[in-house]
Amino acid sequence: MKELKFVDVGEGIIEGHVQKWLVHDGDAVKEDQPILQIETDKAVVNLPAPVAGIVKINTNENTDVKVGDILAYILDAGEVATFDKSKIASASPIQNQGSTANETQLNKPEQQKSAQSEANQHHDILATPAVRKLARDLNVDIAGIVGTGPNGRILENDIRSKTKAQTQSTSHVEKFSELLEEKHAHEIERISLSQTRKAIARNMEMAWTIPSAVHIELVDATSLYRIVHREKDKVKTELGIKLTFYPFIIKAVIDALKENPNFNASYDHETKEILVKKYYNIGIAAEAADGLKVIVIKDADKKSIMEIASEIERLGNKIKDNTITLDEMRDSTFTITNVGSLGGGFLSIPIINYPDVAILAVHLIRDWPVVEGDMIKIGKILPISVVFDHRVVDGADAVKFTNTFKRYIEDTDFLELM
């Protein structure tokens, strides 16, 4: 008999949601055959059978699970007749949340083993002695915290955020919901967050701790507009690729990042260091049915305009059909959000995609009067906003970065050479 447990399918994953079983209880499966869809941190993951055998399902669909929970058992043919899930000592915590009288009568060796296991669990946690001491001083259980540092390391900010959340949840939030439900008892509906919305909430809470500022600029995108509209039909017909403004914007961003490297970085709060990245993975905010997601164009500096356009289309289709993977949404170094693609809005101030240092918002290109010498003509103007981590870069740096980006977008020769 083999247990199919919910394991950490990606860095930092601690819980998931059983979305759909791809097999029925009692079905015969092959080794590595996908048998279950789990919704995790912004992605749906297919879990394969670890061995060939007969499936005995242990968790229902639409159930939340944590890492380590037993989802199913894979049995040999000879084990099916004698299989009794209730007698298995290692049954999933989901199916055995309560304790029986017999289970509470633990002898001393078992108690010592449990204590030792808990001690080992705390020992395995990535945190400095100073952070551990802070957790003890603030009466925070460090084992229940998901670290936001490298490799899941728990930082001082994580401890303080947990303390703040505990304080709010026991005072303001509870009081607010109690009063609201008392007043509108039959007019309130509680809706549980999906795994995607939970991930968005966590990321937004982390991003909100960043002391950020914004710089706004207007860019003359007349040449960009002309080139894209001149070439897009030809590219679609000859290459089958949808050409948009995005690949050119990404290329201009990369060159601006190379000239302003601190924007292609992360801030290590614990060591008070800037981690400047020598690779260029550009995140793109994407609208999905279940909430905002960020697809990542890996090594975008090494790709051509057409390769970037093709990658954007490929990943966009995976967002639409819900087959995007965690790896395809991770490890961004800088993020762009295209507000203009939604067809509205003049300017927006996006939230930084943690742990990036900055995010660029591009908006709807509009016809605006442009002054050239003594003449006024109609130009295609692109409003942009850059939100940045003020711990890492200053306003003057943001102006330099934005001016560099603007220079490339307004440079016809640069765009034509792409």
* Residues annotated as part of the active site: 390
DSSP 329: G
Q: Please state the φ and ψ torsions of residue 366, each to the nearest 5 degrees.
A: -125, 155
Comparing CA positions, the residue from 358, 353, 363 lying closest to residue 395 is 358
Chain-centroid distance of CA 74 in Å reads: 32
Q: Please state the φ and ψ torsions of residue 124, each to the nearest 5 degrees.
A: -80, -10
Query: Could you count the other beta carbons within 10 Å of the beta carbon of residue 184?
Result: 9
Comparing CA positions, the residue from 84, 5, 93, 94 lying closest to residue 49 is 5
Q: How far is it, in rounded angstroms, from Cα 239 to Cα 304?
A: 14
* Contact yes or no for 253/282 (Cβ under 8 A): yes
Q: How far is it, in rounded angstroms, from Cα 67 to Cα 246?
A: 38
Q: Can you list the alpha helix ranges (DSSP code H) found in 297-359? A: 305-320
Of all helices (H) and strands (E), which one includes residue 109? Answer: helix 108-123
- Total residues found in the chain within this entry: 418
Instruction: Using only the alpha carbons of the chain, give its radius of gyration.
Output: 26
Burial of residue 189 (number of CB atoms within 10 Å: 0-12, 13-18, 19+): exposed
For residue 387, give the 3-state DSSP assignment. Answer: strand
Query: Could you count the other beta carbons within 10 Å of the beta carbon of residue 288?
Result: 15
Q: How far is it, in rounded angstroms, from Cα 352 to Cα 355?
A: 8
The dihedral sign for the CA sequence 313, 316, 321, 327: positive
Residue whose structure tokens are 């607010």: 176
DSSP 194: P
Residues 6+ positions from 211 with CB-CB distance below 8 Å: 389, 390, 391
